[in-house]
Amino acid sequence: MESTMFSSFDGTKLYLNKEVAADAKAVCVVVHGLCEHQGRYDYLAEQFHKAGIGTYRFDHRGHGRSEGECAYYADFHEMLDDVDQVVQMAIAENPELPVFLLGHSMGGFAVSLYGAKYPGRRLRGIITSGALTRDLGKLITSVPKDLDPHQQLPNELGAGVCSVAEVVDWYGKDPYNRKTFSAGLCYAICGGIDWFADAVRDFHYPVLMMHGEKDGLVSVQDTYEFFAAAPSKDREMKIYGGLFHEIFNEYCKDEVIQDAVNWLLHRV
């Protein structure tokens, strides 16, 4: 494992964790969600590594061990361009391997919009998990529009992340999880949702859209509508009955992760 800080497009230093074995068959860039960090994907990464898939994981700016104002974005493009820095790095450092992109929740928002903004990258496919693409559950769009963008709002997501009590308990205790997020981040995401309503027509990557049916944070309807709107010829959707938001941490996480692994390896 190699952990390092790298400079993103504007000089902001982001924390990066690279794990690629010499005999890896593929590489996947993993993009985490709001207020969390790359370390919450240790188990997913372990399962990917056992299947021969190397991982690049990073902390969003203002999250985890990365620099930046706490959970703040001035514009949604900052998020997409940070992702692009890691994607480009993974492609450059692994020229012989297919590179994939996986994002959960806000990370799912990021990789979905990324697919529309950067249609020409050498990416083999994109996986979304609980992706916020419409916000039909009003998680972000319900934030009042007249706040100071730098105002911090309490992170009250914890109880809804998962049906597994231990996951919820540790979510609140995790020192790298943010206890607050900014109004500016919400406004940036709202801008991205508006942009994506038209830009989705440029999303052509192979895609697997995954979502928990009982997700109380990001409506499963977001994924239904994204699936219907995306013009990708190779697209699949898996809805997991009874699962909450964090499908990679649910009681049947091994089944969910294996579905992602199988989809990915089928495209290697």
Q: What percent of the chain has pLDDT over 90?
A: 96
Q: Distance (Å, rounded) from C-alpha 39 to C-alpha 82?
A: 18
What is the residue type of 180?
T
* pLDDT attached to residue 159: 80
Burial of 216 (0-12, 13-18, 19+ CB in 10 A): middle
Q: How far apart are CA 232 and CA 250, in angstroms?
A: 28
pLDDT digits (tens, 9 = 90+) for 167-182: 999 899 999 999 999 9
**How large is the average pLDDT for residues 148-176?**
92
Cα→Cα distances 244→104, 131, 235, 259, Å: 13, 13, 22, 17
Q: How far apart are CA 250 and CA 242, in angstroms?
A: 10
Residue 155 has pLDDT above 90, yes or no: yes
Least reliable range by pLDDT among 25-39, 121-135, 152-166:
152-166
pLDDT at 163: 92
78-88 per-position pLDDT tens digit: 999 999 999 99
Per-residue pLDDT of 216-250, as tens digits, reads 999 999 999 999 999 999 999 999 999 999 999 99
Cα–Cα distances in Å, from 46 out to 2, 66, 211, 216? Answer: 14, 22, 21, 27
Structural domains of the chain sorted by starting position, each given as residue range(s) with its CATH number in brackets: 2-266 (3.40.50.1820)
Report the chain's mean pLDDT, rounded to a whole number: 97
- Six token digits for residue 85: 């820095």
Name the nearest CA neighbour of 118 among 96, 91, 136, 144: 91
* pLDDT number for residue 22: 96
pLDDT of 1 > 90? The answer is no
Given pLDDT bands bounded at 50, 70 and 90, which one contains residue 109? very high
Tens of pLDDT along 177-200? 999 999 999 999 999 999 999 999
Confidence at 158, pLDDT banded by 50, 70, 90: confident
Please give the model's pTM, rounded to 2 decimal places: 0.97
Taking each helix axis from N to C end, the angle separating 183-199 and 76-93, rounded to the nearest 10 degrees, works out to: 70
Residue 170: its pLDDT value, please? 87
3-class SS of residue 16: strand
**Pairing of the two strands 99-104 and 125-129:** parallel
Q: How far apart are CA 161 and CA 183, in angstroms?
A: 21
With cut-offs at 50, 70 and 90, classify the pLDDT of residue 38.
very high
- Per-residue confidence band for 12, with pLDDT thresholds at 50, 70 and 90: very high
- Average pLDDT on 32-41 reads 98
Q: In what order do the strands lie in the sheet with 207-212?
A: 2-7, 13-19, 53-58, 26-31, 99-104, 125-129, 207-212, 235-240
